Chains A and B, each alone.
Chain A
Amino acid sequence: MLRFLGLRVSRALLTMVLVVTFAFVVLRLSGDPALLIMSADAPPEAIAAFRQAWGLNDPIWEQYLRYFSAIFRGDLGQSMRDGRPAIELVAERIPATLALTLPALAIKLGLGIPAGIYAALHRNSFADRAVMLLAVAGFTVPSFVLGLVLVLVFAVQLGWLPSGGQESWRHAVLPVLTLGIGGAAVLARFTRSAMLEVLGQPYMRTALAKGVPWARAVRRHALPNAAIPTVTIVGFMVGSLLAGAVVVESVFSWPGVGRLLVVAVANRDLAVVQCILLLVAATMVSANLVVDLLYGVLDPRLRSAPRGATA
């Protein structure tokens, strides 16, 4: 178990280092922040002074090492555009994003998993086809289209809910639904196919042949085994809690991390972009780590299986 844990943690750390490195190199090579921050009207000596002060003239590897060592001191840099610590700017926006993504996650889990299980248990029935039709629709419609349709119906036509902004809980309803419906559709499809695969396994036939009641066989044998692929998807969804709403935040003018990321990238506000990417990577990697550990809990074979062996 310790080896399993050690491997997973090292892999998580390596992923984060790669993300930070990739983001650093791409951002440094894709535009000069001095020109973006200082405006084209600034005299060359001012731009040179800015570059000098922020160390932008140094070789990229030197900048990278400086940035990397600062991370270990807990310093994620300062916004060149705002003058404030990047982490402070990002932290301000996190509650707004979580206010959308957490309820949306609840909808995804609460709607998607039961719908998928129900469809699998009633395979080829009218209900199965109806659930899958809705799931395919929810899965394929892009979030910005779904968002605009919801706004047209519930805000413009019916006038029940606001169309954008962040003044009250009512403003969160449509963006949460937009995020939740798409995710629930994905989960429903995955859960259904995982369940169908498990329901066809020999151990299910054996259990039923031994006289185990259908409901009990499903509960004790099908659901836990079908949980593994579903948990993978849920892990991915948990991992994208911080940055999974970029498009929806733009459509609904919701001032969360996603919109901050868009603006920071456009302005090459390096520290802010890197800070967001680091946090997103950390969330994603942590979620995956938890998922990996859950695999072990859900399937004891994974805990003891030798390296390279299939479960």
Chain B
Amino acid sequence: MARLSRRAALASAGASLVLPRFAIAQADQRLSVTVAVQKIANSNTLETLREQSNVGTRHGGSYGEALIEQDWLGDLRLQPGLASAWRRVDDGTLELELRPGVRFHDGREMTAEDVVFSFGPERMWRPDPTAARNLFGNVPGRTQGKAPPPEAAAIARRTYPGFERIEVVDARTVRFVNKVADPALEGRLSRTTGMVLSGAGFEASSSWLDWARRPVGTGPYKVAEFRPDQSLTLVAHDDHWRGRPPLRGIRFVEVPEVASRINMLLSGEADFACDIPPDQIGAFERSARHEVVGGPIMNHRITVFDKNHPQLRDARVRRAFTHAIDRKAIVDALWAGQAAVPRGEQFDFYGPMLIADWEAPRHDPAEARRLLREAGYKGEPIPYRLLNNYYTAQVPTAQILVEGWRAVGLNVVIEMKENFPQVLSNQGGGTATGRGVRDWSNSAAFNDPVSSLTSAHGPEGQQWQINEWRNEEFGRLSSVLEGSMSLDERRHAFRRMLEIIEREDPGYTVLHQTLNFTAKRRDLPWKPGASFFMDFSARNWAA
């Protein structure tokens, strides 16, 4: 029998304590990456019920997951997420089987109660307008509360217009019960607003703002630190149900200047640089170490009209706007001909709902002039609000648009704004609305027109809600599109809605499909999807 001296025993014991830690440290050879972005969040929160933005979409899916997912990397089908399966109980009810073994970032296992919380009044439906006063600051003598911000209910209503309740069938099964039939219920559940978050995490937070800056989700990465306007640091959630994430961490750094983002990538400070304008792509073509990836995503750049503006009340003036746009010139000049001019506000992945023979208004300056003559437009100024390149190439696009409009006699005055609330504000026009024309984009979060058309322009959509554009027939047809289970009826309604909002009584006009380019290290096996979302999960990190 081998003898063990006291010194050797102590050494062994010490080694046994040290070695596993060393081994773990050695085993975690995973990379941490830095992503330079122009903006992390418009609202400075990570709660998707407040942060409804393209920039927020980029990282939302890394810390939170929905019951049903969209396959942004593949053929854009709906696929199981936190629900491993689902079935229709009736036209308005969906039964979902919860995936076992899903753990939140706080280590708790996801339960049906967490789904109830995530779609429940505390998070979505019970915003207290009077509590809003304390949401983002302590008015003396009061404290910050936990009521969600007042817009949360508006956004929830827009996303789940027929929602009635979540029903717990058993520990692993829930039912999403709608008040009305809804053909697009599955798609609606794939939206980031429907990410399942930890009810206990919400309880443990000191205020809504505290929660909204550190939501406890189930995604492959958890929020380690969020420094508003500066950086968002995510670290691997090693208990993720798909297995260990491929990266040790992801750091999103806010770098507003595109030149600075590119320099950070080239100098090795960043591994990814987002929102690369097309004119910068050539700079990377000969690079051995870097490349630009990306292409069309399920988003359209659009220009929106406020029909209450005195000069825009006459639909013929708005129609003149739509005919004075040379969309091909924009695509050729600014997107090297790579962006598509869409067939109205619809996408190919709408499948049977796609109106294949529909087109964007043709470029016809003569028709535009005729319409203006008929409308009696005399060159009165019309404001056009835009941000400084929030959308890639936004300002040069606006310059082309304005020249086209001027050429037909429209006196459009650019008003540069600093943020979206300023763009959307109806102040500044004296007794009338200060809004005239503005820039916007519209994403289809799932494969049905309700994801883009009604959610943005229907009665629960932002354009309608802020009284920018309303149309009674369009409102009625929105109910048909959202509630009818007949494909023919829905297609008919959809076509008529496009006729109304894109031709007869324009609420917006499409410009081009959005292309999203990301510059990155060539050796990193990450691929862009058809969304702003940057998927850093294991499924998108295979060499």
Contact = CB atoms under 8 A, between A and B. Distances in A.
Nearest to B210: A83
Interface stretch (B106-114, B130-138, B162-170): B130-138
B132 A49 contact: yes
Which residue, of B137, B260, B267, has the highest number of chain A Cβ atoms within 10 A?
Answer: B137
A36 B421 contact: yes
A265 B154 CA distance: 27
Interface stretch (A16-24, A126-134, A162-170): A162-170
Contact of B256 (A47, A84, A250, A267): A250
Nearest to B134: A53
A223 interface: no
Contacts of B255: 164, 253
B229 A260 contact: yes
A52 B133 contact: yes
B281 interface: no
Which residue, of A156, A165, A251, A267, has the highest number of chain B Cβ atoms within 10 A?
Answer: A165
Interface in A250-281: 250-253, 255, 259-260, 263, 265-267
Nearest to B259: A148
Interface in A34-61: 35-43, 45-47, 49-50, 52-54
B253 A253 contact: yes
A37 B263 CA distance: 33
B263 A152 contact: yes
Given A35-B425, A164-B260, A253-B254, A53 B151 contact: no
Interface stretch (A74-82, A207-215, A228-236): A74-82
Contact of A41 (B130, B137, B228, B462): B462
Given A36-B419, A49-B133, A162 B269 contact: yes
Nearest to A266: B418
A252 B421 CA distance: 27
A104 B151 CA distance: 45
B137 A79 contact: yes
B129 interface: yes
A43 B153 CA distance: 9
Interface string B222-242: 000001111000000000000
Nearest to A75: B140
A255 B227 contact: yes
A151 interface: yes
Which range holds the interface residue count of chain B? Answer: 35 or more
A40 B424 contact: yes
A38 B151 contact: yes
A54 B260 contact: no
B144 interface: yes
Contacts of B420: 40
Contact of A253 (B137, B150, B209, B260): B260
A46 B253 contact: no
Interface string A1-38: 00000000000000000000000000000011001111
Contact of A80 (B127, B137, B267): B137
Contacts of A165: 253, 264, 269
A35 B228 CA distance: 20
Contacts of A84: 137
Contacts of A52: 133
B257 A46 contact: no
Nearest to B130: A49
Contacts of B381: none
Interface in B151-191: 151, 154-155
Given A40-B466, A43-B129, A80 B269 contact: no
Nearest to A52: B133
A224 interface: no
Contacts of A32: 425, 427
A36 B422 contact: yes
A159 interface: yes
Contacts of B259: 148
Contacts of B389: none
Contacts, number: 146
B301 interface: no
A39 B230 CA distance: 21
A38 B149 contact: yes
B376 interface: no
B8 interface: no
Contact of A82 (B137, B142, B151, B154): B137
B150 A42 contact: yes
B154 A43 contact: yes
A75 to B, nearest CB: 9
Contact of B129 (A45, A148, A156): A45
A162 B266 CA distance: 10
A82 B129 contact: no
B520 interface: no
B419 A53 contact: no
Given A39-B43, A41-B462, A159-B268, A46 B263 contact: no
A304 B151 CA distance: 66
A282 interface: no
A265 B228 CA distance: 15
A265 B419 CA distance: 10
Contacts of A49: 129-130, 132-133
Contacts of B268: 159
Interface in A97-142: none
A39 B151 contact: yes
A172 B393 CA distance: 31
Nearest to A253: B255
B149 A39 contact: yes
A45 B52 CA distance: 21
Nearest to A154: B267
Contacts of B149: 38-39, 42
Interface of B: 43-44, 50, 52, 127, 129-130, 132-139, 142, 144, 149-151, 154-155, 207, 209, 227-230, 253-257, 259-260, 263-264, 266-269, 418-422, 424-425, 427, 462, 465-466
23 contacts: A31-B422, A35-B425, A38-B150, A38-B421, A39-B43, A39-B149, A40-B462, A41-B462, A42-B149, A43-B129, A43-B154, A53-B134, A54-B133, A79-B137, A80-B137, A83-B136, A148-B259, A151-B267, A156-B266, A250-B257, A253-B256, A253-B260, A263-B229
Given A40-B462, A46-B151, A54-B137, 19 more contacts: A31-B425, A36-B422, A38-B421, A39-B43, A40-B421, A40-B425, A41-B155, A46-B127, A46-B132, A79-B136, A151-B260, A155-B269, A162-B267, A163-B266, A165-B253, A250-B260, A251-B257, A253-B264, A259-B229
Task: Give 7 closest A-B pairs by Cβ, nearest first.
Answer: A53-B133, A46-B150, A41-B151, A155-B267, A40-B424, A46-B129, A163-B267
